[in-house]
Amino acid sequence: MELFETIDRRYSYRGTFTDTPVPRKDLEKIVQAGVHAPSACNGQVATFVIVDDPQLLQQVAAVVDRPVCQSAKAMIVCVTDPRPVYETLSFELEDCAASVENMLLAITALGYASVWTDGWLRGEGRAEKVGEFIKLPKGRQVRIILPIGVPAEDVPQAPRKPFSERVSFNTYGS
């Protein structure tokens, strides 16, 4: 799939997945796309745990408790390290976000679907529980989970605001 077509076709899928497995070679390609994302000062503070063990998937799904996670055939957990990489500044969120966007595009290009799962993790200690399941070392944090699979239903992409409402040249709102 051509890059701009992939960007255009990417959407957040919150439905259920079919029983079609996601091969490890595809999961490796997806995460490799994340590894190739830009990183502040080349600090590479985002790391990834690929979850494809059925029992572990069930444990994570019980904590995250979203339909998309209940039927996911695999998940990618983005883990951040808050250490500073430039003077006293950490860019863990930016690095993680860049990696996740690359992975979402790779997921789309390979014919799978996913959704950026973040906010739901922040409440009720969910990220910490997932961290326990994946044996996360102290000082690291689960930031985003990408459930992956073949979508069981066709879901239209949410409409985007027109280009003219979101973009201006040279000065804001011109």
User: Residue 13 and residue 159: Cα distance in Å, rounded?
Assistant: 14
Helix (H, G, I), strand (E, B) or coil at 103: helix
Quick one: tokens of 32?
């490799």
Mean pLDDT of the chain: 92
Domain 3-153: give its CATH code.
3.40.109.10
Tell me which of 86 and 100 has the higher pLDDT.
Answer: 100
Place of tokens 């239209």: 156
Q: Where in the chain are the domains?
A: 3-153
User: Residue 100 and residue 76: Cα distance in Å, rounded?
Assistant: 9
Quick one: tokens of 40?
């502040």
Q: What is the pLDDT of residues 92-149, one digit of tens each?
A: 888 989 999 999 999 999 999 999 998 888 888 999 999 999 999 999 999 999 999 9
User: Residue 82 and residue 98: Cα distance in Å, rounded?
Assistant: 16
Q: Are 149 and 61 in contact (CB under 8 A)?
A: no
Residue type, 125: G
For the stretch 94-118, what's the b/e string if a residue is b when 16 or more beta carbons lie within 10 angstroms of its beta carbon? ebbbbbbbbbbbbbbbbebbbbebb
Helix (H, G, I), strand (E, B) or coil at 159: coil
pLDDT, mean of residues 77-91: 88
| pLDDT at position 147 | 97
pLDDT, mean of residues 3-14: 91
For the stretch 17-26, what's the b/e string if a residue is b when 16 or more beta carbons lie within 10 angstroms of its beta carbon? beeeebeeeb
